[in-house]
Chain A
Amino acid sequence: MDKRSARPAREIVVPGDILDDSGAKAGDNTYTVDGRVYAAILGVKNRNQYGVGVIPLGGRYMPKPGDMVIGMIEDIGSSNWMVDIKAPYPAPLHVSEVPWKVEFGDTSRYLNVGNVVLLKVLSVDEGKKIQVTMNDSGLRRLEGGRLVEIPYVKVSRVIGKSGSMIQMIKNLTDCRIFIGENGVIWIDGDEKNAEVAVQAIEMIGEHAHRGSLTERVKEFIEKELPDAGEVGE
């Protein structure tokens, strides 16, 4: 608890708030007028050696190349699939970006509407046109299990510092879990355990801005699963 009080209080800013007028570099989610840096989004003020910026508290996921995402096939073309990855734009998955050799017009034999896929963002061009790929190790169609959606800004909380939070959830529930940067999370395991993992992650999604989260999530899982941690360690 001492550690917590030692940390400077976080400062929430709204669009138009002045972040700096002493020449700091403008960071993410800011704009500059006459040398002053302003917040361009609702979020937490973040000052570091690179400058001053804002960490968003909400909003839509905007894909970045290299992001691992989970999406749902929402439409099928003759040479691609349209994937909903919860971004402002649809993400086409071209037949050349899947691990199968797909004949023209034969797309629905491999992936169909409603299927869920683990993908990587290949590129986002200047016009925000997105390309996704399934051609990388571990990328695949996801079957069975559970899906949870949380705001993408909470993904870092679910992962935790160097993966500590997600590792704890995996250990205590003995579930397999894939986290999409877009806030879509896939969980597979024993029914009761998977349900507890889903609830734990939803809890983080709802309360990530409150204190001592790791402890509370741990307490929650141990209460729901008294035998937790005895398996898979």
Chain B
Amino acid sequence: MSKKIISEIRRDHIFNLLKEGKRSDGRKLDDFREIKFETGIIESADGSAVVEMGKTKVTAGVKIIPGTPFGDTPNLGVLTTGAELIPLAHPDFESGPPSPESIELARVVDRGIRESGMVDMSKLCIKEGEEVWMCFLDLYAINYDGNLFDAFNLASVLALKTAIIPNEQYGKGEDVPLPITCLPISVTSAKLGSSLILDPNFDEENISSARLTVTTDDDGNFRAMQKGGQGSITLDELSHCLDMAVAKGEEIRKLIG
């Protein structure tokens, strides 16, 4: 997922429009593409979701399995997040061991969920020091047209939000919903020239110099951030990114209820 060559004509067109505050697909700088989602799409998963942002499409699924807790957190459940940029999703994605890009994606999504305390890990203890519920969250790109960070985040939140702890399957009583405390939403700004835009598509992402992913909780507080790309962000730009992340985060949170 290293930078792809965008033709000079496309690049110039995007930059020329940005100077007038416009984007090539008619969006305003801080508009997301249309977001569509569906949950419970995979019966074999304990929670699942598909999210579309324009032509970007991703799926998330969670498997909840009893396992041994970590020694330093004997009474807490475990969350493990993985992301795969499978070659089905884009002509440039290759199969093989996880790329640095897919590892960064998984870790940034994981951080937002973990640091926000979205899943109440203390309620996932079955027997202290011996058995806890382990949540394996796996993310797949199905069609890649930019902004996988926010698409993966949203799919993860939806999958976890609708997940069921499969007590019955393991002879532990009745199935119950995974305990959820809040909805962490990430909003990624991309910097093109001196413009900041949200929800970059493939072309925009590939000519951007830097990006900043900001994850907020229900109160609009910051829970995780990640700057990426070889360019820099000024302090004023940072402030603008944070404002947009709070405002847009609230909008998206309302959308998914």
Determine whether A and B are in direct contact in the complex, meaning some CB atoms lie less than 8 angstroms apart: yes
A residues neighboring B (CB under 8 Å) = 72, 74, 113-116, 142-147, 186
- CB neighbours of B10 from chain A (8 A): 147
A74 to B12, CA, bound (A): 17
Report 7 cross-chain contacts, Cβ distance below 8 Å, ordered by A residue: A113-B5, A115-B8, A116-B9, A146-B13, A147-B7, A147-B10, A147-B13
CB distance from A187 to the nearest CB of B (A): 10
- CB neighbours of A144 from chain B (8 A): 9, 12
CB distance from A66 to the nearest CB of B (A): 24
Task: Tell whether, in the assembled complex, residue B11 and residue A114 are in contact, meaning their CB atoms are under 8 Å apart.
Answer: yes
CB contacts under 8 Å to A, within B142-164, are none
- CB neighbours of A74 from chain B (8 A): 5
CB distance from A2 to the nearest CB of B (A): 39
B residues neighboring A (CB under 8 Å) = 5-13
A114 to B5, CA, bound (A): 6
Task: Tell whether, in the assembled complex, residue A145 and residue B9 are in contact, meaning their CB atoms are under 8 Å apart.
Answer: yes
Number of A-B contacts (CB under 8 A): 27
CB distance from B25 to the nearest CB of A (A): 11
Q: Which of A72, A145, A147, A186 makes the CB contact (< 8 A) with B5?
A: A72
9 further A-B pairs in the complex, CB-CB below 8 A; given A115-B8, A147-B7: A114-B11, A116-B8, A116-B9, A143-B9, A145-B9, A146-B9, A146-B13, A147-B13, A186-B9
- CB neighbours of A114 from chain B (8 A): 5-8, 11
CB distance from B207 to the nearest CB of A (A): 10
CB distance from A172 to the nearest CB of B (A): 21
- With a 10 A CB-CB cut-off, give which of A114, A142, A147 has the most chain B CB atoms: A114
- CB neighbours of B6 from chain A (8 A): 114
Can you name the residue of chain B whose Cβ is closest to the Cβ of A75? B5
A116 to B8, CA, bound (A): 7
A142 to B12, CA, bound (A): 12
A142 to B13, CA, bound (A): 13
Task: Tell whether, in the assembled complex, residue B7 and residue A116 are in contact, meaning their CB atoms are under 8 Å apart.
Answer: yes
CB distance from B210 to the nearest CB of A (A): 20
- CB neighbours of A116 from chain B (8 A): 7-9
CB distance from B110 to the nearest CB of A (A): 35
CB distance from A143 to the nearest CB of B (A): 7
- With a 10 A CB-CB cut-off, give which of B9, B10, B11 has the most chain A CB atoms: B9
A186 to B6, CA, bound (A): 15
- CB neighbours of B5 from chain A (8 A): 72, 74, 113-114
A146 to B14, CA, bound (A): 10
- CB neighbours of A142 from chain B (8 A): 9
Can you name the residue of chain B whose Cβ is closest to the Cβ of A72? B7
- CB neighbours of B9 from chain A (8 A): 116, 142-147, 186
A186 to B9, CA, bound (A): 9
A186 to B10, CA, bound (A): 11
A72 to B9, CA, bound (A): 10
- CB neighbours of A113 from chain B (8 A): 5
CB distance from B10 to the nearest CB of A (A): 6
CB distance from A97 to the nearest CB of B (A): 20
- CB neighbours of A146 from chain B (8 A): 9, 13
A72 to B5, CA, bound (A): 9
Can you name the residue of chain B whose Cβ is closest to the Cβ of A186? B9
- CB neighbours of A143 from chain B (8 A): 8-9
- CB neighbours of B7 from chain A (8 A): 72, 114-116, 147
A191 to B12, CA, bound (A): 13
- CB neighbours of A145 from chain B (8 A): 9
